[in-house]
Copies of this chain bind each other. A is one copy, B any other.
Amino acid sequence: MTFDLAEGTALLQRTPAMLTAWLGELPEPWLRCNEGPDTWNARDVLGHLIEAERSDWLPRVRHLLQHGDALAFPPFDRFAQQRQAERTTPQLLAEFTAGRAQSLAELAALQLRPNDLERRGRHPEFGVVTLSQHLATWVAHDLTHVTQIARVMARRLADDVGPWRAYLRVVRAEP
């Protein structure tokens, strides 16, 4: 196990400010473009991050600490944001910022020690997982959705860049 909780939370802490600086006042076409039918735009990703904050990351930490590997996590609904009420982009960013701050405050209050990171839980699909793996996944999940937002916006330029397309893998990427 090499995951460093302090380093991980340092990244988690910065994601809301980074997304706000990037997307907060961006023209709507960037925020509403997607990669075709059944793909997400940047606003859908924000809704998903809010939902994960609400029902995945800290809830599963608490579930694992309470039940160990005796009881599987409740499954996470990756499409829950599609049933949420329409919000402006600044509202989505504010909601994500508040949710993340609350998660990190609760995480800090747990005062996890290195030994705790080895505690085991049960994933509904993967079986036994450790708290460390779950927390590392939280960090990697932020990063994967940052790449997604950048890719979705870049693909909007796929034709506009002309022959540079050959050098810009991002505009040719698969969703």
Give the secondary structure class of A's interface.
Answer: helix
Contacts of A65 in B (CB 8 A): none
Interface membership of A147, Cβ < 8 A: yes
A116 vs chain B, min Cβ distance (A): 15
Q: Could you say which of B17, B150, B157 contacts A21, with CB atoms under 8 Å apart? A: B17
List the B residue with the shortest CB-CB distance to A14: B22
Distance in Å: Cβ of A29 to nearest Cβ of chain B? 6
| Contact status A132-B160, CB under 8 Å | yes
Chain B CB within 8 A of A80 CB:
no
Of the listed residues A27, A132, A154, the one surrounded by the most CB atoms of chain B closer than 10 A to its CB is: A154
**Contact A26 B14, beta carbon cutoff 8 Å:** yes
Q: What's the nearest-Cβ distance from chain B to residue A26, in Å?
A: 6
